[in-house]
Amino acid sequence: MQVGYIGLGAMGGALARHLVGKFEVTVLDVNSAAMAEFERLGATSAPSAAELARRCDVILLCLPRSSDVRKVIFGPGGLVEGLSGGEIIIDQTSGAPAETREFAERLAQQGVALMDAPVSGAMAAAIAGKVSIIASGPPTTYETALPVLQAMSPNVFHCGDRIGNGQTIKAVNNMMNASCRLATLEIVAMGRKLGLPLELMTSAINSTTARNFTSRGMLHAIAEGRQSTKFALALQVKDANQAIGLGTDCGVPMPLSNTVRGLLQIGLNTLGVNPQLEDMIRLIESMAGVRLAPQHPAT
């Protein structure tokens, strides 16, 4: 099986690495240094998407946005110029489900299948080959793609036949994570104003139904004076926008998510150049007029 991988960024690169050695891999990226690195590992590089399509049976994409995916597939020199029918395209972009479905419909007319298989989890998990891959698509497509997906991680989950379900679940997960994070920080900040120490609140929260991903991770990190996230705030806002868009488009009110989105947007607009998700801690602190922990590094 000839496998192509387009998009060798932080996540794409980590995932693609697992394919080299298990398949004949052809890569493509705007960054020639990234491609050179993969050639050193044993992959070949293609001069264009069209050429990559000519060589490959299964083509994976891991790009920032669905608009990038659209260009790579249908734009000048794009995949469609080289596809002959029978190929499978796997979109690992955290993209927009409706657009992904549109791409799939268009490609189906050429006899090419497209399915989504975004990943969920930390970079470390992707590098270690353990990240969660949330795949959706019709059974025949999924079965053919499965060996390629499993080569990147054994944690592959099939969430239905409908294309875009994987990207939708990822949006739901990300919104829940962001919302629980800001709710926890906001309420813990209030607790600090009531005179409660951070570590004590963390113990109390983690021993009850108040427990969540943030209380298990970030709260401990803040108390210990270390960073726990490495994620551009602009990308977090993009995720929130997408999740809320999915709700708005079909009439689901999301008041909590919208408030969370607003807070993230305020952070993006006010926290300086290229703010990080971690910087939201100091936004919450400044809004409440309190420090969560004395040793938290001043940013």
Q: Which of 66, 184, 236, 276 binds other proteins (CB under 8 A)?
A: 184
Site string for other proteins, 70-99 (x = CB under 8 A): ---------------------------xx-
12 vs 22: CA distance, rounded Å: 16
Q: Counting contacts by CB under 8 A, is residue 132 touching other proteins?
A: yes
> Of the candidates 45, 93, 94, 257, which one interacts with other proteins according to CB under 8 A?
257
256 binds other proteins, rule: CB under 8 A: yes
DSSP string, 137-159: S-HHHHHHHHHHHHHH-S-EEE-
> Which one of 41, 172, 274, 295 is in contact with other proteins (CB under 8 A)?
172
Q: Does 176 bind other proteins (CB under 8 A)?
A: yes
Q: How many positions of this chain bind other proteins (CB under 8 A)?
A: 70
Q: Rule CB under 8 A: choose which of 47, 251, 272, 294 binds other proteins.
A: 251
Contacts 24+ apart (CB under 8 A), 73-80: 73/49, 73/103, 73/107, 74/103, 74/106, 77/48, 77/49, 77/50, 78/49, 78/50, 79/49, 79/50, 79/52, 79/53, 80/50, 80/53, 80/107, 80/110
Cα–Cα distance, 16 to 28 (Å, whole number): 11
Structure tokens at 203: 């113990």
Tell me if 139 sits within 8 A of 161, measured CB to CB: yes
Q: DSSP code of 298?
A: P
Among residues 66 and 174, whose Cβ is nearest to other proteins?
174
Site for other proteins (CB under 8 A): which residue of 48, 150, 259, 265? 259
Calculate the alpha carbon distances from 38 to 47, 150, 176, 250 in Å.
14, 20, 35, 42
Between residues 55 and 130, which has the closer beta carbon with respect to other proteins?
A: 130
Residue 176 CB, shortest distance to other proteins, in Å, is 3
Binders of other proteins in range 188-247 (CB under 8 A) = 188-191, 193-197, 200-201, 203-205, 207-213, 215, 243, 246-247
Cα distance between residue 89 and residue 287, in whole Å: 46
In the β-sheet with 119-120, what is the strand arrangement from edge to edge? 119-120, 132-135, 156-158
CA distance 114 to 39: 26
Element of type H or E holding 27: strand 24-28
Nearer to other proteins, 50 or 98 (CB): 98
**Binding window for other proteins (CB under 8 A); candidates: 21-29, 36-44, 66-74, 172-180:** 172-180
Asked if 148 interacts with other proteins (CB under 8 A), we say: no
The answer to whether 288 contacts other proteins (rule: CB under 8 A) is: yes
With CB under 8 A as the contact rule, which of the stretches 65-73, 87-95, 163-171, 268-276 interacts with other proteins? 163-171
Residue type, 116: D
**Using CB under 8 A as the criterion, which residues of the chain lie in contact with other proteins when the complex forms?**
97-98, 101, 120-121, 132, 134, 155, 157, 159-160, 162, 164-165, 168-169, 172-177, 179-180, 182-184, 186-191, 193-197, 200-201, 203-205, 207-213, 215, 243, 246-247, 249-257, 259-260, 263, 287-290
